[in-house]
Amino acid sequence: MKQANTHKIKLSSAALAPSCLFTCGDDESWQDKQYIANLGLKGASLAKMTSLGHPVPIGFVLTTDFCRQFNAAGNKLPKGTEKLVKYGLAKLEQRLGRKFGGTEKPLALSIRSGAPVHLAGLMPAILNLGLNDETCAALATETGDARFALDCYRRFIESYSIAVLNVGEDLFEEIFEEVRSESDLNSISEFESNDYQVIIDRYKACIIEETGDDFPQDVFVQLMGGISAAFESWNGYRAKSQRRINQISDDIGLALTVQGMVYGNRNKSSATGIIQSRNPNTGEARVSGSYLTYAQGPEFIGQYRAPKPLTNEDKARDGRVASLEERMPDMFKQLVKTACELEKAFGDMLDIEFTIEDDKLFILEAVRPKKTDQAELMVAVDLAKSGIISKQDALMRVDPKSIEQLLHPSLDLEAKKTKIARGLPASPGAASGEIVFNSEEAEERSALGKDVILVKIETSPEDVYGIHAAQGILTVRGGSTSHAAVAARIMARPCVTGASSVKVDTENETLYASGHTLKKGDMITIDGTSGEIYTGKVATIEANFSSEFYTLMQWADEVRQLKIRVNTETPELALKAQKMGAEGIGLCRTEHMFFEKGRIVSMREMILAEDEVGRKRALDKLLPMQRKDFVDLFTAMSGYPVTIRLLDPPLHEFLPKSDQDIMETANAIGIDHKAILRRLESYAETNPMLGHRGCRLAITHPEIYDMQVQAIFEATILAEQATGDPTMPEIMIPFVSTKAELVFLKQRIEDIADNVANIHGARPAFKFGTMIELPRAALRAEELAELSDFFSFGSNDLTQTTYGISRDDSARFLNSYARRGIIPHDPFVSIDKDGVGELVKIAVERGKRGNSNLTIGVCGEHGGDPYSIHFYGDLGLNYVSCAPFRVPVARLAAAQNAIHSQNEI
């Protein structure tokens, strides 16, 4: 590629015309990352289309180097810029036989900005640049059409003044409407040259009033002003906000494309529009789009200017509106042919902006549009099946997070809705239901066949069955890894957390939001994908598992190295997860099994017992229930590993809280309610999540784990007898910090296995493992591994204890941290590679040193996060475990990690 260099500034060597002095290189160079980094997506795509012989208006590109140096110089164009721009203009003038600012055959330009990635908020296109009073008259003389020339001029004044002079768009809209109304005009085709002259005169007066200066008549001043405004837009509020939201570097810069004008407003044989090579909602291979005659680029569209359908299939109901297919059949055929050729060349669905000038087609832009998740999936698979892209390309193209959205109901975009609040999108999907304010009522109303939304200030483990009964969950407090969020994802319920603008009066069962007062029984709708909350019932669209989904998952399984397990303790969800590709259970939270009404009383009886004898008596009641739980789980997951975490939360979480619940528990157990109050007081802790929980419970009350382990071993034998398959439970000890804890507990487990063998004649096989949740455990991993068959990282607690942040309270301030750039993202959502990740690396390295056969996985929320999965895959973990409906997400993310690693090698 040829380059003109002055002061390290580059005028792009990308050709925008086949025989232009600036040659564009080979057909594939536009896809090179450095090529796109220099020219931006827009410039690179124009160069690509030019190299393929498609009709692209001639032009040149000011590379992203200009933008970076512009920013470094404090919003000043670097030295040498004008010289390079004049050099580019000279080449355009030579090729087109026109003169920029000339009084004969004047050259008009379009300038468009574009970054190396899709980014909103940049300066909009400026068209017809180079027109002034003299060149407008020259264009009128050349074409013999004063109306056309004046139309171009007024469009330029408007777009330039908005983008460069910062005059409000609404002012031009008002002037245009005034003239249209005064002349009683209904269609753009009814405007005459004198109407446009009136508009131009009023535009100029408006500009003087708003800026204090005349509209610039020097065409080179116009051009340099447009160039500066484009680069200034890089640091505008919208562009900076979009970069922050999408985690895009400030340093990539934008490029600016300068092209000779083509006119879709030239005459009745001219038009402008967009053709889509596929349906962006479904991905179906069928062109669609819209167009306008007598129009240019981003057309000013009012009630008098409705876009027209491109194809007969898209034709409006009003038969009087002609499609482009009818109006210009030859142009339409050429356009469809071009769209198909470009889709193959670019290897993706495209939105193609085109202009037809006097029956001649020009392509102005070809971009990969924003598609629905379903369309993205369908396009990727279809193109791979057609051989246009590879299977690996298809896998890399689909966002793993989008897969999760396909597995849940979504709101109908066409449905009417009234938004009242917004919180954090904690668990995807949409649901409507009657408001209830406690879990008991959620269960009761659900049993009567009612759909309910459980609304609480925050949830706790005792709400697990209310969450299960509800169609969705809304909490005022909490973040994306709070109890409500985690439980909802496990149970595949839509959930919105951290809706701080919502006020909940639990006592009076009332919700207040945005001036709306809603009572128990009123209908609301939540969207766990966007975090939005609506009044009433909003129509939803059910999830659809397409054939393309299964095809993509099959391709993912062919390349991934990480195994994918599921976090669940119910056979129903275990079976669902298997269908989604789960290869075992990585976390069975046994505490959830004790909250069911049939057993919570026995659990409370055990906790409230005065001595070990009383505790064992209550545990004997729980033993058959636990045994059945595990039999059902082992049977459902026959042939797959099942990791069972022994009881983890502090015991106070199982005790009653309300006065009514306390009295009912006292009556059921047969004790004085004051004894419960005393026990509640004795179990109170300043910081229970760092207190008497996990294996610490088993040190002080070993009989609890003894019961659970006995139930596991007896269930192992029964499940093997029922299925004929060997069962290998993996017993995991939570909240470990010392080797001595493992020594104590492993010996008790071995003793119980011996006792079961004596009774049943066979010793159950099992694996013994450690849950790494504390920094000390990570640092002492070598000695812990000496006693362990496996490690599983509990990423939620490991993040919590590393940062010293409560995950349930973090949403109150972590968003501010991320917004100010203090942290790159919420560490509870995606792993903090530098801190938490460093502990994980240490634990993996030292653990393998202590036991070379150690199996290592992760079972916290990070197990379903694509960013974190890449990190764990790079470390060589054996598996990740996640919520059921995140299993396909993890499968795809693991495949992408394998592809990325292979490419690096």
Catalytic residue chosen out of the listed positions 859, 862, 870, 882: 859
Question: What are the DSSP E strand ranges found in 758-885?
Answer: 767-772, 790-793, 855-858, 879-882
Task: Determine which helix (DSSP H) or strand (DSSP E) holds 883, and give its type and residue range.
Answer: none
Say how far apart CA 622 and CA 56 lie, in whole Å.
Answer: 76
DSSP string, 248-296: --TTS--EEEEEE---TTSSTT-EEEEEESS-TTT--S--EEEEEES--
Q: Is 166 left (phi over 0), alpha (psi -120 to 50) or beta?
A: left
**In terms of DSSP bridges, do strands 585-589 and 424-427 run parallel, antiparallel, or are they unpaired?**
unpaired
Residues 54, 408, 468, 483: which is the catalytic one? 483
Q: Residue 614: enclosing H or E segment and its boundaries?
A: helix 612-636
Strands (E), 99-240: 99-100, 106-107, 109-114, 126-129
CA dist., res. 671 & res. 291, Å (int): 79
Dihedral of the alpha carbons of 370, 375, 379, 381, in degrees to the nearest 10: 130
Structure-block tokens of residue 338: 């071009």
| Angle (CA) 87 89 95, round 5° | 110
Instruction: Write b or e for each residue in 341-363: b if 16 or more Cβ atoms lie within 10 A of its Cβ, otherwise e.
Output: ebbebbbbbbbbbbbbbeeebbb
CB atoms within 10 A of CB 737: 18
Distance of CA 852 to the CA centre of its chain: 38
483 is catalytic: yes
Distances (CA, A) of 35 to 41, 116, 255, 286, 388: 9, 9, 11, 31, 22
Phi, psi of 168 (to 5 degrees): -65, 135
Please report, for residues 31, 111, 275, 310, 350, the alpha-carbon distance to residue 286 in angstroms, rounded to integers and kept in the order given: 25, 31, 10, 12, 12
> How many CA atoms does the CB half-sphere of 685 hold within 13 Å?
13
> Catalytic: 859?
yes
- The rounded distance, in Å, linking the Cα atoms of 490 and 608 is 30
Catalytic residues: 483, 859
